[in-house]
Structure 1
Amino acid sequence: MTKIMRILVSIFFISLTAVSSIASATNYTLWVNGRGGGGVVGDYTSFSYWGPSSTDAGVNKKAVNWDGYNSISSQNGKVRDALDCFCTGSNWCYIATHSAGDLMMGYTLANYGGSTRMNKNATANAAGQCGNSDGTSQVGWNIKWVRAASGAGGGSELSDDGSWTTSEPLVKDLKTTTARAMYNHNDTHNVWFYMYAGAKGTVYSGILPGQDDEAVAYHSTGGVSGTAGGSYCNPSDWFCNDLTMGTAVNEGGTAKWGYHSVSFRDDNETYNHYANGNWQGIISVVRAAMVSNAT
């Protein structure tokens, strides 16, 4: 074989390797639960928190289950395991969260988004951990974006007030001042959080300032910055400042956290907080967005 032929053959095999690498790249949709849990921890096919597992909810959907009871810091390893499994190497992730799942993802990215991660093979054991793929590593995870249904990154006054069982470690984390001081909410390592804010409140949610979905108020579900919750509403409500769409500064001058943008504001007060075992409430709006955009 001539030298030129050897070079051409080498180029051919390099090209095949590159094509094979591209072909093996996979996108996944990860769903991170909130308070109460329900899915089997470590089982990425267990969607009982959300609804029927047969429901379309984005490409290659996986349930990232944590117990929804203990503290964010103590349960965070479960989420990092899932991100390592499906969002490293050539694989990329779309992420949906609900309620305290938003607090969990924000904490994860702020504290570990710049850490070194081993590339994994996307094949999980019973504990939800995957094996190393090829011995290589990377910094952070491959995340396209996060969509947060009723995000509780700013906490909830139901925790402040004691309306939720205060013996739960997670409820202590969900106090508004605690949640807002837990990590740097502006530090997402350049991952966008798209916020979906429900507004179908009820009588007892008068504890919550401004518009709410029975559990979390607009100041949190809209990604509004600050050390404590404020009162934010739909434009039709004259008695408190408007939660603005996108990244725009809210009426009254308070900004949203960096890399946070309001994608949906429940102007018709249609959606409450709860999945009801069937992908309902504000989760239904995020699920529809994942079906359309997580491909």
Structure 2
Amino acid sequence: MKVHVHAALAAVFAAAVLAAPQAQATNYTLWIHGKNGGGTQIGNYADFSNWGPASVSAGVNKKAVNWDGRQTIGGQNSHVRDALDCFCTGSNWCYIAVHSAGDLQIGYALSLYGGTARYKKNATPNSSGVCGNTDGTTQTGWNIRWIDVASGAGGGSELADDGEWATSDPIVGNLVTTTARGLYDHNNTRSLWFYMFAGAKGTLYSGILPGQDDEAVAYHSTGGVAGSAGGAYCNPSDWLCNDLTTGSGACEGNHAKWSFHTVDFRDDAEAYSHSGNGNWEGIVSKVRADVATYAL
């Protein structure tokens, strides 16, 4: 289904540009990273050091949305909103790709700020990553086509619950499963689709992370399963727990997904791990390939 949705959106956009070239609309692809130890340059949209070589194809006019991945979601979300204001307002539109806690960042921005007035910006950022106004007018929310999510941590991780991340970084508190799920209304996506890519190459923490996992986040989170706490969800080959279904329908056992969340890729072969290893690897590789194909 996603292929047809992406193709249809691309066709609609192309038709709109041909019909009204004077609008000079530009598409951008924003990449929002997850929890990390710092090192990326906040405000530098060309710094892809968290992801891998910037020369790799990763969507039209790609931009790296950098934030301090050690700090809280709420405390750093302004950097995400700066990027959305810069590139996703006025006549410009965005595709969004996120990894891990980047899922929390875009969900937080949309739920809490997606209905607010945003100044239309000129897509020319200063050194802090803030763009100037165009004509002083505003719009409601941002121009976003869809969101691809690599191993989304929107539902938190039991590694945070159990103290496996032995660090004082404030973000760990946000990743406790009940905290992450209560941080904002995950159903309020402003009617934008979240395409979930769930990895399952996890063995190290199999006793802590329920069901299938990628060694950092379990299927209940990477699959966008709704609820106030996580549960155990697996591939169909595993008879010991309920299946994480593909698509937007309820999982086995009638466990619903959040609104506008659909599982685009489920790692039935257990081949994709959580980390991109700074080289577009793991589950990030699946999203990168998808974005390179459809973010045009």
TM > 0.5: yes
TM-score by length of 2: 0.92
Match of 1:6 in 2: none
User: Which residue is equivalent to 2:26?
Assistant: 26
Take 2:167 and 2:221, find their aligned partners in 1: how far apart are those partners?
20
In structure 1, what is the Cα distance between the partners aligned to 2:167 and 2:108? 21
1:25 aligns to what SS in structure 2? coil
1:41 Cα deviation after fit: 0.6
Partner Cα distance (2:138, 2:166) in 1: 41
Q: How far is the alpha carbon of 1:202 from its aligned partner?
A: 1.8
Amino acid at match of 1:27: N
Please state whether the residue corresponding to 1:257 is helix, strand or coil.
Answer: coil
- Alignment match, 2:7: none
* Amino acid in the other structure paired with 1:272: S
Name the residue aligned to 2:11.
none
SS where residue 180 of structure 1 aligns? helix
Give the alignment of 1:41-80 within 5 angstroms: 41-80=42-81
Match of 1:268 in 2: 269
Q: How does 1:41-190 map to 2 (within 5 A)?
A: 41-190=42-191
CA distance in 2, matches of 1:118, 1:203: 46
Taking the aligned partners of 1:293 and 1:20, their CA distance within structure 2 comes to 21
Deviations 1:42-94 (A, max 9, x none): 00000000000111100000000001011000000000000000000000000
Say which SS state the counterpart of residue 203 (structure 1) adopts. Answer: coil
Provide the rounded CA distance (Å) in 2 between the counterparts of 1:264 and 1:182. 25
Which residue of structure 1 aligns with residue 210 of structure 2?
209
Q: Percent identity?
A: 66
Measured after TM superposition, the shift of residue 165 of structure 1 is 2.8
Off by >2 Å, runs of 4+ in structure 1: 18-22, 203-206
The within-5 A match list for 1:185-200 is 185-200=186-201
Is the partner of 1:261 in helix, strand or coil? strand
Give structure 1 stretches of 5+ with no counterpart: 1-17
Equivalents in 2 of 1:94, 1:258: separation in Å? 19
Q: How many residues align structurally?
A: 277
What RMSD, in angstroms, separates the aligned Cα atoms of the two structures? 1.0
TM-score (norm 1): 0.92
**Per-residue displacement from partner, 1:155-199 (whole Å, max 9, x unpaired)?**
000000101134111000000000001110000111110000000
Paired residue secondary structure (2:207): helix
SS in 1 for 2:124: strand
Q: Which shows bigger deviation, 120-129 or 196-205?
A: 196-205
Q: Which residue of the partner structure matches residue 293 of structure 1?
A: 294
Question: In 2, distance between residues paired with 1:125 and 1:206?
Answer: 47
Give distance in 2, aligned partners of 1:79 and 1:122.
14
